[in-house]
Amino acid sequence: MNSENILMERKTPKVVSINIVRGCELSDTARATEGISRDDLVEIRVERNSPAESKITRLGKNQSPTMRFRDALEKEGFSGKKII
Amino acid sequence: MEDKCVFIVDEEILNRFSLLESNGQEYYGGENAQLFFEYLSYRKCNKKAFMIPSIYKKIIKVLTINDGESLAYFKNWVREGDIGESPDTTEEQDTISLFNTLAVLHEQVFIVSDKYDGNSNFKNIPILTIEKLDKYLRDKKDFMKYIQNIFYGDNY
């Protein structure tokens, strides 16, 4: 593997975990910092080769968790097929 | 209170979900699977369904590609049931073992699958076929109101 490939591999973000929670499950500090209400749905995403801090996204209208999952399946070529 | 029950799922729910985009006869089942995953996110407790280890591992192996986003979403909703691994047991036996284990730990356990409907080994186990699952979820008025707001807006 040449140095360019190594550099590209290092820079490609990889999703390590996704946790979808309600605002009420976050700490008071996190809710206040991110402007999230107790009823909001929130996605907490951790990526490798990305800044270490978790990415917290409030899911609004037309951003339901399953729509995001469908997009991920489509991007990875699984959409419209049985998984196993 | 209702958040205290837990669910055991198999590959059917994920397959139905992924077939949602096929726009054919599979659409109806896919929509139910989508509603089920939304319901798990909506809950405050027990937000992950359980799966027997042999099926869980097969799915993980397939989804482990690219940037791992599909796998991460799958793991957000489904966890591997802790029943150990034995090469000598069938999926049916593992499912019953997982049910018996979870039934000690939780107030109610449902198996979400069409596979075991009518199977005499499951006669004392609550089974939610995809049709029964649909009714189970649509009877939850607050949840359905939430879904209508998310997908169609407040004035739907």
B3 touches chain A (CB under 8 A): no
Interface contact A18-B76, CB threshold 8 A? yes
Q: How many CB atoms lie within 10 A of CB B16?
A: 22
| HSE, side-chain direction, 13 A CA sphere, residue B36 | 33
Q: What is the DSSP string of B39-67?
A: HHHH-SS--SEEE-HHHHHHHHHHH--TT
Looking at the domain assignment, is residue A30 inside a domain?
yes
Best of A44, A55, A84 to substitute, by most chain B Cβ atoms within 10 angstroms, is A84
Please give the order of strands across the beta sheet that includes B127-128.
Answer: B78-80, B49-51, B6-9, B109-112, B127-128
Structurally, chain A folds into a number of domains equal to: 1
Chain A, window 20-49: residues with a beta carbon less than 8 angstroms from a chain B beta carbon = 20-22, 24-25, 41, 45
- Residue A39 phi, psi dihedral angles, 5° rounding: -90, -15
Q: Dump pLDDT digits (tens) for A9-61.
A: 557 778 999 999 999 999 999 999 989 999 889 999 998 887 766 789 999 77
Domain membership flag for residue A83: no
| Distance from C-alpha of B144 to C-alpha of A40, rounded to nearest angstrom | 16
**Predicted local confidence at residue A80, as pLDDT:** 86
Nearest Cβ partner of B68 from A14, A81, A82? A14
Q: Is residue A22 part of a domain?
A: yes
Q: What is the pLDDT of residue A43?
A: 95
Angle of helix B11-18 versus helix A65-75 axis, rounded to 10: 80
Q: Which comes out higher in pLDDT, residue A12 or B27?
A: A12
B149 contact partners, CB below 8 Å, separation of at least 6 = A61, B156
d(CA A56, CA B91): 38
Which range of residues forms the domain containing residue A34? 13-75
d(CA B152, CA B70): 25
Model confidence at B87: pLDDT above 90:
no
Q: Do the chains contact at B68 and A16, CB–CB below 8 Å?
A: yes
CB of B76 closer than 8 Å to CB of B106? no
**A14, B150: Cβ pair inside 8 Å?**
no
Q: With respect to residue A2, please indicate whether it lies within any of the assigned structural domains.
A: no
Which DSSP state fits A19?
E
Nearest to B73 among A21, A24, A68 (CB): A68
Residue B80 to residue B51: CA distance in whole angstroms: 5
For residue B45, the chain A residues in CB contact (below 8 A) are none
CATH number of this structure's domain B2-152: 3.40.50
The pLDDT tens digits for B103-153 are 999 999 999 999 999 999 999 999 999 999 999 999 999 999 988 887 776
Is A4 within a domain?
no
pTM of the model: 0.90
A61 touches chain B (CB under 8 A): yes
What does the domain layout of chain B look like in residue ranges? 2-152
Model confidence pLDDT, tens digit, residues B42-62 = 998 999 999 999 999 999 999
